[in-house]
Structure 1
Amino acid sequence: LMLCFSVSNIDARPMFGFATQTADKDFKRFFIIYVSLAIANSLFTLMRAFTFAYGGIAAARKLHKSLLNSLLKCSISFLDATPSGRILNRFSSDTWSVDDSLPFIMNILLANMFSLLGTLVLSCYGLPKFLIVLVPLAIFYYFIQNYYRWTSREIKRISSVSLSPVYAHFGETISGLSTIRAFRHVTQFVEHNFLLVSNSIRAQFASLIAGLWLSFRLQLIGIVMVAGVSLIGVIEHVYTIEGSNPALVGLSLSYILSVTGLLNGLISSFTETEKEMIGVERVTAYIDDLPKEEEDNEEQFIFLNEERQQKGATIEYRHATMKYSVDQKVALDNITFQIQSNEKIGIVGRTGSGKSSLLAVLFRLVNLSDGQILIDNVDTTTMRRHTLRQTLAIIPQDPFLFSGTIRENLDPYQHHTDEEIHSALEKCHLFDLVETLGNDLNSMIVERGRNFSVGQKQLFCLARALLRKAKILCLDEATANIDNETDRLIQTSIRDACSNVTVITIAHRVQTILDSDRVIVMDSGRIIEFDTPTNLLKSPQSTFARLVRQAKVSILS
């Protein structure tokens, strides 16, 4: 396609050059050829533009889908260790390069390449001795473009690397803006932002200077070419018997006058293509090299506790030991306990005692260093994570709702009827709230559920878990950021709706787990107490009793 475009892109100069050497009756024939080439060039230009536009969109869609899929399946340790700005950079500027810049610049590159090739072929045809000048200039051109490409490519990498901290710092500043103002560190953050932006601009300025360095040398090549064609034409005319053909010499000279722009366009577009390919390189690095959470050797397993049994699953930790990394101390140290079906378990302990780590290994967000975890007497490591997590549901401390309708948030895969969704909403005391919105299940939820309170978002997450019919429900300090009244409402909803579900509650407030069947007290990755709340409160020396006294919770008999 590009070759056909290049051939059809020949302008009127060679036609008129040949026509001046023929009879007047042949001029009409050359004119018809020229018009035909102009029409063909328009058609090929349209086809080329459509091909690159469609190909760019298809490639960008595929890369973005693969990038998102790879990120969603990567290990949690990677997300913990990688700044969010670096990940956002992949989905913003790098993906933008693939989506918009790269197809456009590749189109220009191929057009310049074939245009330059056609120009040199016609110039050498009109003046064959021009090859004497062209060969050494081509060698010189190869070395300077190679040097420039290596330099600009590394500058582009530096520019991309220096841009990620800008994204990360800006996002962190926005997230913690109230804290920054409260501690009066605004000036410090502004100065640090200026430093990061200056580092990014410094790399871009170096790229601009490198472009000017190349432009100067390409202009020198163009001057030498024009001087060479002129000198060869004069020498042939003066010192050869047959002389030179004025029409062909003029044709060569007219094309050589534009070669500087073509050379500059070629190297610039080639370099820009390489720069934009760095975005592709960075995206494909995330696609291919991210540590995957799912192992290829894990066997598919059908969970034994099927929905028809309508009961919660049993959970057993056997000598479970876990480290988040090899150079850190153990987060769980030889944990052993068992949870019966439909049992409600509360977990308390100070920060860093290992409460959330119990759920992390249950969901297999982190692998055990030693020991095993069994659900319904099945080792969790013998099943795929996807299969395991279909049996689990969690309500986190920061509940998340997507932009969309209530139905899309509660039942994104459309597996349930409206009656089932209404039943789940009624169990979670949300039915009246949804009715007041006007459009029932089609009522819209804004981004991150900002049109609902934190407690209401927690209840929506609970309704979502009930619709999934999960056998195990985990609450990771879900009521830490809500008032006592909403806390009681959520606990009431859990008691009413989760009678056939095993519930594990990590509590910020002690009163949240007072009605649990049993309570686990954690400290330094170990279980120091595990009994019913009543038995633990009977012992004034117990850690749980001390926490209740510190919280000044009144115990109803």
Structure 2
Amino acid sequence: MVLVIQESWIQQMSLRDNILFGKTYHEQWYRKVIDACALENDIKNLGPAGDHTLIGENGVTLSGGQKARLSLARAVYQDKDIYLLDDPLSAVDVHVARHLFSHCIRGILKHKTRLLCTHQIQFMEKADYIILIDNGRIIRTGKPNEVLSSAENLLLSSNQSSQTSLATTHKSLVDIEEQVIQTETALQNEAEQRCTGTVKFTIWKRYFIAVGICLSFSIVFSVFLMQASRNVFDWWLSYWTSHQLSVINMTNITGRTSFKILNPSVVTILDARPIFGFATQSADQDFKSFFTIYVGLAIANSFFTLIRAFTFAYGGIEAARKLHKSLLNSLLQCSISFFDTTPSGRILNRFSSDTWSVDDSLPFIMNVLLANIFSLLGTLVLCCYGLPKFLIVLVPLAIFYYFIQNYYRWTSREIKRISSVALSPVYAHFGETISGLSTIRAFRHVTRFVEHNFFLVSNSIRAQFSSLVAGSWLGFRLQLIGIVMVAGISLIGVIEHVYTIHGSNPALVGLSLSYILSVTGLLNGLISSFTETEKEMVGVERVTAYIDELPKEDENEEQFVILNEDREQKGAMIEYRHVTMKYNVEQKPALDNITFQIKSNEKIGIVGRTGSGKSSLLATLFRTVNLSEGQILIDNVDTTTIQRRILRQSLAIIPQDPFLFSGTIRENLDPYQRHTDEEIHMALEKCHLRDLVENLGNGLDSIIVERGRNFSVGQKQLFCLARALLRKAKILCLDEATANIDMETDRLIQASIRDTCSDVTVITIAHRVQTIVDSDRVLVMDNGRIIEFDTPSNLLENPQSTFAQLVRQAKVQIPS
């Protein structure tokens, strides 16, 4: 058993792989399926790659009808015994619907059990058995001659949003993932690009600018002061000890032998000051001076540490906020074509893994890096100050250390980049699986998808494991360097003490030894933190690449003009002058020398076969794609001279994709809170949604879950219509907005549009001829050209016209 749902779920792979869906390729059966689902011409139009052309994520490079037929072909190729078809005919035009019904549903599947849910009443007479459903209840069942004769009046006059089906209704769990733009370009299956080599200085500069120049300097200076105060603190204790020991008469100290501890004057003997040379009352002032400085250095170190922590935290937050804001703005302003060719997993990777690096990991590890740098410098300075000959050991070790860390940094940096790139397919596959879960389960391919997910996760973990191995390789060599340093400073201290006249200062030698014992950890920490910082900077590199390199929507450099606002309550006049548009320079034009004019307040219907260029008209009107030739004028103003934001404010669209945001109904209908509750309720009333909203309990404050999944597809389209009516735009565009609504509700919506949009120019794209028969004029398109453009009555007078043929095929009753 297989299921074809309304959502037309398409994977990001070639057209052939989408149809095979894990099954073995059989040439003869494959060709039969392609022919039955009317995909031959579409495959030819994909380009030289044919059915090996990569389909964009969720089928963004296909039209709604093409996705519906591809989804149907995938189910047919599985060759199962039972087929559940949830209205696969609503997304295609009348001609293609008849082909699918005769060649696929009643042709190649004629020996299968088929349960078809549809709004297309004209196909019911060919069914073996009919189940008529109204308001979730079965009201009539039987043979077509039994049900159609008695239910005809109900089907034509029902005020409810009834559902006519050949089987039980299947409520889609996911929205129809259609898109306004039909992209005909053949995509290449390219892996995500990644940089190579060292992280460029411009990336570091970009991050420090995001932190703030003054704040960056304050951070570095506070770390320097913190480490300097700590080293001076330790040096002062050493100096205090050596200074007092140099002026004490050692015989007086040793004269106080241990037997005196038994003397009754135990308080005098246990006085600590004589140990430091303060044996007299006159020296008590020196003790206070040394002690005061010692405490002052401790307080200063604590203060500088606090300043460092605060500046680092604030700087990290500031950089993350600025970069995230720039990334979001860049994404919102980029060209629509970017989303056609880029998997959502790559975008999610930037906003999740890479942003997490910038927001959390990078500030933390950079804090550790600066602390390690100044700690190592302080250690080496003190060791060289106490034992200058230590430089003999330090120089060759420094050279060896440089080559070791350079080799490790290069390796780990590339591993980080590979790891980042390997995460994108995991995100994309996970999102794709969630959106198509109902199809995957119905086809019983859960195991295959789980195994593929394990494969992608394994690739990602492999890179992380390599990073751990490289870290172990580095740690072993750094320990060798630390051992040589400890041995060297110990040997130098002994040699100076034995073979020099003055010997070495015991206090400084002890201080050097105490510091050098930690040098292994410091060396390891320095290279590890520096490498980790470079690896985390890859996140900044990837975020910056999106900020700087995303294709932006081109804006005219000339002075922008403003649409005529004096005609605020009237529809706009639209004129296309010799418009030619290509989605790709190597492809044939999606619109080929289009010229027509729409009068103010006119209602225009647009029909044509799938891929004829209907949605491309709206794409050019909204300037989501650029024209190759020609002009589009609104109220005699060239749209290229109007700023996109201003242009789109005068337009409203109800797309094939009825998208709703998470939040309340009020927030979805009136996101800017510009309308009163009465106005919102009035819009809901016109769209036949008021009773539904009031029955939800919280009214306009009722919650809409993610992507509006608590409403049916038809209800979501009605909400989108209410949102468009509230906007009061000059031009209202409907792109198959009523494809998933029953015919009676379709008629009610069209009546609402006529009543409420009398002063608005309306452009309606529809497969259903019933939707546009009462338009002022009808525009018929084929292969990117206008073949007919006249009033419905004039077109129907000519029985040879394409529009008249469509009306006859749809068996539409035209009111006289």
Are 1:350 and 2:350 counterparts? no
Aligned pairs for 1:516-531 (under 5 A) are 516-531=775-790
Q: Deviation digits for residues 171-202 of structure 1, max 9, x if unmatched? A: 11222223334444444433332332222122
Matched, 1:264 2:524: yes
Equivalence for 1:409: 668
Q: 1:223 aligned to 472, 483, 487, which one?
A: 483
SS at match of 1:306: helix
Aligned position for 1:213: 473
Aligned to 2:277: 24
Give 3-state SS (helix, strand or coil) of 2:553's partner: coil
Q: Kindly provide the CA deviation profile for residues 16-61 of structure 1, in whole angstroms up to 9, marking residues without a partner as x.
A: 4334321433566544444333333333222222221122112111
Match of 2:316 among 48, 56, 69: 56
**1:329 paired residue number:** 588
Amino acid in the other structure paired with 2:368: I
Letter in 2 for 1:320: V
Q: Partner of 2:404 in structure 1?
A: 144
CA displacement at 1:95 relative to structure 2:
0.7
Match of 1:490 in 2: 749
AA aligned opposite 1:85: G
SS of match in other structure, 2:632? strand
Aligned to 1:113: 373
**Is the deviation greater in 98-107 or in 527-536?**
527-536
The whole-number CA distance in structure 2 between the counterparts of 1:555 and 1:165 is 52
Aligned ranges 1:115-134 → 2 under 5 Å: 115-134=375-394
Q: 1:42 — aligned with what?
A: 302
Structure 1 CA distance for aligned equivalents of residues 667 and 625 of structure 2: 30
Question: Within 2, Cα distance between the matches of 1:439 and 1:264?
Answer: 60
* Distance of 2:393 and 2:653 partners within structure 1: 74
Q: 1:45 to 1:16 in 2, by over 3 A?
A: closer
Tell me if the contact between 2:704 and 2:710 (Cα under 8 Å) persists in the aligned partners. yes
Matching residue's letter, 2:653: I
Q: In the alignment, what sits opposite 2:117?
A: none
Please give the secondary structure, in 1, of the residue aligned with 2:601.
Answer: coil
The 8 Å contact of residues 305 and 376 in structure 1, kept in 2 or not, is answered as no
Q: 1:95–1:202: structure 2 CA closer, same or farther, 3 Å change rule? A: same
**Cα distance in 2 between the residues matched to 1:155 and 1:306:** 61
Question: 1:162-181 residue pairs with structure 2 within 5 A?
Answer: 162-181=422-441
Return the alpha-carbon distance in structure 1 between the equivalents of residues 593 and 498 of structure 2.
99
Q: What is the DSSP-based 3-state SS (H/G/I as helix, E as strand, rest coil) of the residue aligned with 1:20?
A: helix
Report the Cα offset of residue 552 of structure 1: 3.4
Question: Among 77, 80, 91, which residue is 2:337 paired with?
Answer: 77
Quick one: structure 1 residues 358 and 456, their matched pair in 2 at CA, closer, same or farther if it must change by over 3 Å? Answer: same
Match of 2:715 in 1: 456
User: 1:339 aligned to 598, 616, 620, which one?
Assistant: 598
Cα distance in structure 1, aligned partners of 2:656 and 2:745: 14
Normalising by structure 1, report the TM-score.
0.94
CA distance in 2, matches of 1:296, 1:126: 68
Residue aligning to 1:515 = 774
Q: Distance in 1 between matches of 2:227 and 2:470?
A: 30
User: Which letter does structure 2 place at the counterpart of 1:480?
Assistant: A
Shift of 1:438: 4.6
* Cα drift, residue 208 of structure 1: 1.3
CA contact 1:345–1:504 (8 Å) conserved in 2: yes
The letter for the 1-side match of 2:518 is S
Alignment counterpart, residue 418 of structure 2, candidates 148, 151, 158: 158
Matched residues, number: 556
| Mapping 1:469-488, distance limit 5 Å | 469-488=728-747
1:99 aligns to 2:352 (yes or no):
no
Q: 1:27 to 1:125 in 2, by over 3 A?
A: farther
How far apart are residue 349 of structure 1 and its match?
A: 1.7
Bigger fraction of residues in helix = 1
Alignment of 1:536-547 (within 5 A): 536-547=795-806
Between stretches 159-168 and 510-519, larger displacement belongs to: 510-519
Supply the distance in 1 between the matched residues of 2:300 and 2:727 (Cα, whole angstroms). Answer: 60
Contact 2:237 2:294 in 1 (8 A): no
SS at match of 1:374: strand
2:453 counterpart letter in structure 1: N
Normalised by the length of structure 2, the TM-score is 0.65
CA contact (8 A) 2:556 2:640 kept: no
Aligned-residue offset at 1:159 = 1.1
Q: Who is 1:292 aligned against?
A: 552
> Could you tell me whether the CA contact under 8 Å between 2:233 and 2:298 is conserved in 1?
no
2:502 is aligned, of 239, 242, 248, to 242
Q: 1:206 to 1:306 in 2, by over 3 A?
A: farther
The separation in 2 between residues aligned to 1:305 and 1:17, in whole angstroms, is: 82
% same residue? 83
Go from structure 1 to structure 2 and tell me whether the alpha carbon gap of 1:472 and 1:285 turns closer, same or farther (over 3 Å shift).
Answer: same
Amino acid in structure 2 at the alignment position of 1:24: G
Aligned partners of 2:226 and 2:301 also within 8 Å? yes
Quick check: 1:318–1:336 contact (8 Å CA) kept in 2? yes
Aligned with residue 655 of structure 2, among 378, 393, 396: 396
Residue deviations 1:326-359, cap 9 Å, x none?
Answer: 1111111111111111111111222211111010
Gaps of 5+ in 2: 1-221, 245-275, 279-285
Structure 1 residue 134 displacement after superposition: 1.1
Whole-angstrom distance in 2 between the partners of 1:405 and 1:178: 26
Q: Provide the secondary structure at the position in 1 that maps to 2:740.
A: coil
Q: Which one is further off, 282-291 or 38-47? A: 38-47
Task: Please give the alpha-carbon distance, in whole angstroms, between the structure 2 residues aligned to 1:368 and 1:184.
Answer: 45
Unaligned runs of 5+ in 1: none
Query: Could you say which residue in structure 2 is the equivalent of 1:199?
Result: 459
Moved more, 346-355 or 539-548: 539-548
Which residue in 1 is equivalent to 2:258? Answer: none
Deviations 1:149-172 (A, max 9, x none): 122111111111111111112211
Letter in 2 for 1:487: D
Q: 1:540 Cα deviation (Å)?
A: 3.2
Give 1:341-380 correspondences, 5 Å limit.
341-380=600-639
